[in-house]
């Protein structure tokens, strides 16, 4: 695909240009000066990120996927906090398999991993 995009510009004048502040450009592009066309933009290569405000919901959805998977496989994880919730009258059928501290530990580990990979913008929530 990149080959098809670049091939028509063979022999043209190509330049590396910056947009925005010289010391901190908003974008750096490779452009065909003859066609006034952006061939490659640094924005095309930036990894997608999750804003730290949206991280809890995003990570919660990931944990929910695994919780549903465990339920489909009939796997139950023993958790004293879950037992306490049942003892206080909560319906055990309504409680998630990944619960309480287990949920919090997974959430922290996922946040740390996403921050290390640069997926979580702004660090952990």
Structure confidence by residue, pLDDT tens digits, 59-103: 999 999 999 999 999 998 988 898 888 888 888 778 899 999 999
Same domain for 54 and 28: no
Same domain for 38 and 70: no
Give which of 40, 22, 21, 18 is closest to 30, Cα–Cα: 40
Domain count, the chain: 2
- Is residue 38 scored above 90 in pLDDT? yes
CB 18 within 8 A of CB 25: yes
The band of 124, judged by pLDDT with boundaries at 50, 70 and 90, is: low
- Is residue 122 scored above 90 in pLDDT? no
pTM of the model: 0.61
Same domain for 55 and 114: yes
Q: Which domain holds residue 57?
A: 50-121
pLDDT for 29 equals 94
Task: Give, as one character, the DSSP assignment of residue 93.
Answer: G
Cβ-proximal residues to 79 (8 Å cutoff; 6+ apart), any chain: 99, 100, 101, 102
41: left (phi over 0), alpha (psi -120 to 50) or beta: beta
């Amino acid at each position: 695909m990149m080959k098809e995009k670049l091939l028509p510009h063979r022999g043209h004048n190509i330049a590396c240009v910056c947009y925005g502040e010289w010391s901190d450009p908003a974008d750096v592009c490779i452009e065909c000066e003859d066609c006034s066309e952006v061939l490659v933009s640094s924005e095309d290569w930036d990894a997608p990120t999750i804003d730290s405000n949206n991280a809890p919901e995003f990570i919660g959805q990931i944990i929910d996927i695994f919780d549903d998977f465990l339920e489909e496989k009939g796997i139950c994880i023993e958790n004293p906090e879950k037992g306490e919730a049942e003892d206080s009258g909560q319906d055990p059928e309504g409680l998630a398999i990944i619960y309480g501290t287990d949920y919090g530990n997974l959430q922290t580990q996922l946040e740390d991993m996403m921050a290390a990979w640069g997926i979580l913008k702004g660090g952990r929530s």
